[in-house]
Amino acid sequence: MSDTPQLVVHRDKGLMAEAAAARLITRIVDAQASRGSASVVLTGGRNGNGLLAALAASPARDAIDWGRLDLWWGDERYLPEGDPERNVTQARQALLDAVPLDPERVHAMPASDGPHGTDVEAAAAAYARELAGAAVPENHAEVPSFDVLLLGVGPDTHVASLFPEHPGVRETELTVIGVHGSPKPPPTRISLTLPAIRTAREVWLLAAGEDKANAVAMALAGTGEIQAPAAGARGRTRTLWLLDEPAASRLPKALYEAH
């Protein structure tokens, strides 16, 4: 487990999105070169979608073999298929519809108008089974070894749909959970748990904007993961915080390299 996070700070959120997109292209291409395929966990929100839009606009995107890429999600709003608030809907608009992905390798979380209906626990269990089915013995886990798992950091330090002091952030056995009573609407969601997140080779946390400065400082100051879920998000080989200057404004400059 990579316990010492690396921090990279960019001047503004636009540069951060472009640099993160370039970094992700390189990581995917490297993984495909070494293992034949790559797997990435996407995140929603303004920074996750900003990264995807920057990737869509990058000429270097053609270096990726899109047919050999598995896409998963860290969390999802439990809403009907195609709802504009769903992370997968926003990801399709930002990037996915513009690139030649294999539809069988785009692993969207279930929607509320799917076979599980209002039973979000059953929907979460179905996604957990899909993850387990994609894992191979050398992963030593009930989920695949994702190459990169992306997470946006909320102003309250939440990542995926794991909120401070909420039951989900305390989960230690399940890989995917149904979330009820989310403090951020909509109230019902599906989320990976911290144990599932920590199986990723690399975890990248994205934060831009002054409204994220307190959350970033709190998560990197050693606050426990129950109070600051972002503090519990770590990759097996690397944990990377990608920030803009406003989001990093409450950190000591000695902590990071500025770009």
pLDDT at 257 over 80: no
Nearest to 56 by CA among 17, 102, 95: 95
Look at residue 87 and give its three-state secondary structure: helix
**Averaged pLDDT for residues 164-179:** 97
pLDDT score, position 258: 63
pLDDT at 75 over 70: yes
Domain hosting residue 101, numbered range: 12-206
Per-residue pLDDT tens over the stretch 10-26: 999 999 999 999 999 99
Say which DSSP state 90 is in.
Answer: H
Task: Specify whether the CB–CB gap between 214 and 155 falls below 8 A.
Answer: yes
30 is a domain residue: yes
Contacts 24+ apart (CB under 8 A), 19-22: 19/242, 19/259, 20/51, 20/54, 20/204, 20/206, 20/242, 21/51, 21/52, 21/54, 21/55, 21/58, 22/58, 22/60
pLDDT at 259 over 90: no
pLDDT score, position 235: 97
Look at residue 41 and give its three-state secondary structure: strand
pLDDT score, position 254: 77
Distance (Å, whole) CA 87 – CA 75? 8
CATH number, domain with residue 72? 3.40.50.1360
7 is a domain residue: no
**Averaged pLDDT for residues 211-221:** 97
pLDDT score, position 98: 97
Per-residue pLDDT tens over the stretch 147-161: 999 999 999 999 999
Distance (Å, whole) CA 145 – CA 95? 23
Per-residue pLDDT tens over the stretch 93-111: 999 999 999 999 999 999 9
217 is a domain residue: no
Residue that has been written with the tokens 């993961």 in this structure: 225
CA angle 113, 123, 165 (to 5 degrees): 115
Residue that has been written with the tokens 């298929």 in this structure: 81
225 is a domain residue: no
246 is a domain residue: no
| 140 pLDDT tier (thresholds 50, 70, 90) | confident
pLDDT at 176 over 90: yes
Total domains present in the chain: 1
227 is a domain residue: no
* Amino acid (1-letter code) at residue 229: P
Average pLDDT, the chain: 96
| Sheet strands (E) in 26-157 | 38-42, 69-73, 75-77, 148-152
pLDDT score, position 87: 98
End-to-end CA distance of the chain: 26
| 170 pLDDT tier (thresholds 50, 70, 90) | very high
pLDDT at 1 over 70: no
Cα 249 → chain centroid: 23
pLDDT at 89 over 70: yes
What's the whole-model pTM score? 0.96
pLDDT score, position 197: 98
Task: Specify whether the CB–CB gap between 143 and 197 falls below 8 A.
Answer: no
pLDDT score, position 141: 83
pLDDT score, position 255: 78
244 is a domain residue: no
78 is a domain residue: yes
* C-alpha distances out from residue 108 to 26, 38, 190, Å: 24, 16, 11
